[in-house]
Amino acid sequence: MDGLLLIDKPGGMTSHDVVARARRLLRIRQIGHAGTLDPMATGLLTLCVGHAVRLSEYLLGKDKTYTGRVKLGERTSTDDAEGEIIERRDARVTAEDLARVTPAFIGDILQTPPQYSAVQVQGRRAYRLARQGEQVDLPPRPVTIHELTLTPVIKQPASPFVHEIELRVTCSAGAYIRALARDIGEALGCGAHLTALRRVRSGSFTLADALTLDEVEQAARAGILAEHLLPADRAVDDMPRCDLDDDAARRLQMGQFVTGALPIASTGTSSVTCRVYDGQGRFVALGLYDTERALLKPAKVFEQPRPAANASRAACIRKGGAPPP
């Protein structure tokens, strides 16, 4: 069983909790996730199943889109609602203030990770050190904020002051939305922390295509959970495609090089990583094509995927109906 399973993660569960439950339901050990969500966060979590685990590295680097909520006037130890309040300030922020600070957080910026994060410090996770009361110096690192919308939430209609912010952000991999909320609060001069977060897109995958854990369990009971898996090659669908005849594909799978001009879209570079298909249209490998030498080398080779069957039964489960006999 190989492929990608899109999950709508509920709040209160770690990403590892979701993986553990999927392992029990699919009865397969080889499952991993492509991008951690904090326990407080909800939304799209991509699980890689079977041989698709070997493609998770390509999913980790995809841009992501989140929606969330930020409370002004309070800083917490974790930069979100799960931490202790460490500072309170008067938040006299207006919608004009939000419009003023927003441009500073769009584009290539430097961001300091939260103290409670998985960043490694001399071989130890920062959050472990923070739990022991150690204040660690985490250097800022570059991230990219492609889009950022800050919408003011005013609880008292007669007041001009903003109490909370609804945000929508599209960012590069590695960006912390908790840190973004913290830094926006500092730019406004009042402090802030993240109170809600939902991932709605990761790469080309959207939350609209994800299953809840209840839907996953229902499909597992009906024996059709495998039909909900997306093909493994969806993880690399932004790579150029290379179609080989069966003989060439078989040689590549055996670790041999394939020579000669191949139908690979040019990227303007001397080497191109591509997804390779055999004469039956089956995804068999990732290859590295040397454009100068016209030489295709195997990078990662995969076993043949099992064909999907009875998609109508899966559609019924997604809609909450009973599967056809």
Angstrom distance (rounded) from CA 130 to CA 133: 5
Angstrom distance (rounded) from CA 182 to CA 80: 9
Angstrom distance (rounded) from CA 181 to CA 175: 11
Question: Do the domain assignments include residue 8?
Answer: yes
Residue ranges, the chain, pLDDT below 70: 116-134, 265-268, 303-325
pLDDT in the model for residue 312: 44
Looking at the structure, tell me whether residues 48 and 79 fall in a common domain.
no
Looking at the structure, tell me whether residues 161 and 260 fall in a common domain.
no
Question: Do the domain assignments include residue 74?
Answer: yes
The residues that are catalytic are 38
Contact residues for 286 (Cβ-Cβ < 8 A; gap 6+): 236, 239, 273, 274, 275, 276, 298, 299, 300
Looking at the structure, tell me whether residues 167 and 285 fall in a common domain.
no
Question: Do the domain assignments include residue 275?
Answer: yes
Question: Do the domain assignments include residue 324?
Answer: no
Residue 146, domain extent: 64-202
- Closest by CA to 184, choosing from 154, 161, 164, is 164
3-class DSSP state of 81: coil
Looking at the structure, tell me whether residues 165 and 243 fall in a common domain.
no
CATH code of the domain in which 46 resides: 3.30.2350.10
Q: Is 99 exposed, middle or buried (0-12, 13-18, 19+ CB in 10 A)?
A: exposed
- Residue 260 tokens, joined: 């000669």
Looking at the structure, tell me whether residues 195 and 96 fall in a common domain.
yes
pLDDT in the model for residue 186: 96
Angstrom distance (rounded) from CA 52 to CA 49: 5
Looking at the structure, tell me whether residues 181 and 258 fall in a common domain.
no
- Residue 176 tokens, joined: 């912390």
CATH code of the domain in which 272 resides: 2.30.130.10
- Greatest Cα pair distance in the chain: 74
Angstrom distance (rounded) from CA 198 to CA 168: 10
CA 97 to chain centre: 31
Question: Do the domain assignments include residue 306?
Answer: no
Looking at the structure, tell me whether residues 71 and 184 fall in a common domain.
yes
pLDDT in the model for residue 299: 94
Looking at the structure, tell me whether residues 211 and 174 fall in a common domain.
no
Side-chain-side CA neighbours of residue 132 (13 Å):
8
Question: Do the domain assignments include residue 321?
Answer: no
Find the length of the chain. 325
86 CB neighbour count, 10 Å cutoff: 12
CA 254 to chain centre: 32
Is 146:172 a contact under the CB 8 Å cutoff? yes
Number of domains composing the chain: 3
- Closest by CA to 169, choosing from 44, 26, 321, 66, is 66
Q: Is the dihedral of CA 278, 281, 282, 283 positive or negative?
A: positive
Angstrom distance (rounded) from CA 48 to CA 216: 15
Of 202, 218, 252, at which residue does a domain stop?
Answer: 202
Looking at the structure, tell me whether residues 15 and 91 fall in a common domain.
no
Looking at the structure, tell me whether residues 194 and 223 fall in a common domain.
no
Looking at the structure, tell me whether residues 208 and 190 fall in a common domain.
no
Question: Do the domain assignments include residue 23?
Answer: yes
Question: Do the domain assignments include residue 167?
Answer: yes
Looking at the structure, tell me whether residues 46 and 78 fall in a common domain.
no
